[in-house]
Amino acid sequence: MNTRPSVAEPSAMHRMLHARSVAVIGASEDRSKFGGRLIYNLLHHGFQGMVYPVNPRRDAIFGHRAYPDIADVPSPPDVAAVAVPVQHLLTSLQGCVNAGVKVAIVITGQLAETGMEGTKLQDDAVAMARAAGMRILGPNCLGAFNTPAGICLSPSVTMSVDKLHKGRVGVASQSGALQTAMFIRAFDAGIGFSSAITLGNQADLELSDGFEYLVDDPDTDAILIYVEGLKDHKRFKRAALRARALGKPVVAVKAGRTDAGAAMANSHTASLTGSYEAFSALCESLGIVVTDQPDTAVFCADALARWGAPKASGVAVASGSGGAAALAADAIDDGNFHAARLGPRAIAHLADHLPMRKETANVDFGAYFSAFDPAVMRDTLETFADEPDVGAVLLIMTPQPAMENLAEIMREIGSTRGVPALLCNKAGSMVRNKLEADALVTGYPIYTSLDDCYRVLEALMAYRQFQDEGLAQETGNTPAGAIDASASRLSPGLLTEPEAKGLLAAAGVPVTSEIMCPDVDAAVQAAQKIGFPVVLKGVARGLIHKSDAGAVKLNIPNVAAVRSAFAHIQDAIADTALEAAFQGSLVAEMAVGGVAEAFVGSAWDSQHGPGVLVGAGGVFIEVVKDVKLAAAPVSTAKAQAMIESLQTFPLFDGARGRPKADVAALADIVHQVSLLAAHLGPRLKELDVNPIIVRAAGEGALAVDARAVWTTPE
């Protein structure tokens, strides 16, 4: 047997971030130009490989021989950075292809982001590169850098800093400008990046290329990604799962929190899910921490790189100010973490030094005579850190004696005890210069905003929770054969109720027993077969709100009533101008005995894949908007947790003396619908099951109505 390991081709990202030779097209010594800054930054950060400036008007640039054309460089460069005016882009890229360049970093902008013409040019560039096996980063990007390797391929002005801090956070960002803003914010706080990659228009290499690289990068301990929209959610998912398997925390910043959502919504589902929500749901299913604040995201990623998942969800607070400590205690009890509790030994031990006997780890040093003694502060904070319920220590520094000692103690605790120790400097100019200078030297972050601290704590604790939940979400088996058989009869557009329910039944969801009846005689027969009372509902393609149109008749007691209901419904549909579409009436059992109504839906999102929703049902769903969305599929356990997290959960849980509803049966339906959605993928664009009648605990749940939007893939 051949046991030699196969050596995989290095990825384009790897080639680029470990380039041994770089050509800079449009190189110059003028740092007001992209090409000038790019080559300056490359040399400034100590690039050790071959540099080939390309500029027909110069013999040398920054002491490196310049070449009139890329065709003249002596050997094929690993990377070419292209910062030329847009009208020269294709010629330049053709030159790169001919010269055997592996990866072109295209800084040049004014392409797809400007409209049709730019898009065409960008497409042509990619087609040309692909045909020759050359990869493109960008266009319209700000390049990339790899700190440990000393490779800076970026024209960003931020790269003129003297020296990049060392750090363990890797960044992949769709936006170049935002990445540089995050960079400088991190830099000022003493936080460094291992590698940072900006993707720009993602014409060829995309976010997941950067993500994948960072997942496998030995210099990266946590990953920060800035996302506008995903190109390939399956690939993103694979990279995220790999990060998770390797124990690398991932923080995502998503643009577009205020997305208006789908305006032309045919269903509740579409109006209730925006792209931000879908992205968050996808991330949640992958154990990715999401935030909408790029600035603090850097701190979150840094904290996760430093400390990983905290050992507990309690937070100990210390301050020289009783007010600050009390405020923090309040803020901490609001989130998914709590004021840490002390065990009896710690309480007794602390009472030796401090006249404090309390069970929460919250100390106001200012309140005690000897508390500003550095030995006492150290002992107190170390005692906190070692307590089993303390997952993090937060110190709010207000002006007090021995502040620098205190900073030193916090840094030591945070660096040696594996417990996140967050220092928030509220002592302003008293210590700012000294602390900030220290942070730059030691790389230990000093926060200045309490909000930042809370967000960092939130990120740490969210990550901890993801670890606790574990990856193994047993999502069960999809009845694929039955679903495919039911799906094979469908055509694109709005499905009728019996069609949508056919899919549900195939997925194993309990639905009302019912018979589709094209004429009144069939309806009478069906009613007798099902047993009175029955329900009649008009069926017409395009009929969305049946009861609004007068096409739902409930509780029909006998044959005569069936006949009149059928006629009424036919007339009602005639009034809606859907007459041509009238297919008949659905005769269904009258579902009784419900104690609550629920809504379950699914939505396909081209950027994020399938999602499943659950909420309290009924007519107020759009008003209340109390729904929970998750990436599909979900396990029944996850479905149960979704239901329990609804604001309206008390309605299912015996509020005001009602019987408790069969939440387990509802969770089964959420799970089955999620499998259906995941199996059908883009074909099932939207599905609303509303209402589901949920009976008392142990008595089950039944889908009463469903509608769906069907598409057929091209």
Which residues contact Mg ion by CB under 5 A? 690, 705
Position 131, amino acid = A
Single-letter code of the amino acid located at 61: I
**Least CB distance to Mg ion at residue 594 (A):** 14
588 binds, among Mg ion, ligand ADP, none (CB under 5 to 8 A by kind): ligand ADP
> What is the smallest separation between the CB atom of 620 and ligand ADP, expressed in angstroms?
11
The span from the CA of 214 to the CA of 207, in Å, is 11
Of the pair 62, 532, the CB lying nearest ligand ADP is at: 532
> Which residue, 109 or 617, has its beta carbon nearer to Mg ion?
617
Q: Which is nearer to ligand ADP, 233 or 546 (CB)?
A: 546
For the chain, what's the residue count? 714
3-state class (DSSP) for residue 581: helix
Pick the closer one to Mg ion by CB: 78 or 705.
705
Minimum separation from the CB atom of position 555 to Mg ion (A): 16
Nearest approach, Cβ of residue 618 and Mg ion (Å) = 9
From CA 440, how far away is CA 372, in angstroms rounded? 26
Nearer to ligand ADP, 459 or 588 (CB): 588
Beta pairing class for 582-589 and 514-517: antiparallel
Two tokens, residue 28: 């110059």
Q: How far is the CB of 543 from ligand ADP (least distance, A)?
A: 8
Q: Which long-range contacts (CB under 8 A, 24 or more apart) does 352-359 make?
A: 353/379, 353/380, 354/380
Q: Which residues of 321-349 are buried (b: 16+ CB within 10 A; e: fewer)?
A: beebbeebbebbeeeebbbbbbeeebbee
Instruction: Tell me how far, at minimum, the Cβ of 534 lies from ligand ADP, in Å.
Output: 8
The answer to whether the beta carbons of residues 684 and 504 sit under 8 Å apart is no
Q: E strands along 413-492, which residues? A: 421-425
Nearer to ligand ADP, 73 or 509 (CB): 509
Rg of the chain, C-alpha, whole Å = 31
Q: CB of 691: closest distance to Mg ion in angstroms?
A: 6
In this complex, which beta carbon is closest to ligand ADP, that of residue 271 or of residue 607?
A: 271
Phi, psi of 585 (to 5 degrees): -125, 145
Smallest distance, ligand ADP to C-beta of residue 491, A: 20
> By three-state DSSP, how is residue 596 classified?
strand
User: Minimum Å distance from CB 705 to ligand ADP?
Assistant: 3
Residue 268 or 695 with smaller CB distance to Mg ion: 268
CA distance 691 to 703: 6
User: For Mg ion, which residue has the nearest CB?
Assistant: 705
Question: Phi-psi region for residue 100, left (φ > 0), alpha (ψ -120 to 50) or beta?
Answer: left
Give 268 or 464: the residue with its C-beta nearer to Mg ion: 268
Q: How far is 630 from 279, CA to CA, in rounded Å? A: 9
Q: Which does 546 bind (CB under 5 to 8 A by kind): Mg ion, ligand ADP, none?
A: ligand ADP
Residue 494, binding choice from Mg ion, ligand ADP, none, Cβ under 5 to 8 Å by partner class: none
Q: Of ligand ADP, Mg ion, none, which one does residue 552 interact with (CB within 5 to 8 Å by kind)?
A: ligand ADP
The span from the CA of 562 to the CA of 532, in Å, is: 10
Binding interface with ligand ADP (CB under 6 A): 512, 535, 537, 545-547, 552, 554, 588, 590-591, 691, 704-705
Distance CA 425, CA 399 (A): 9
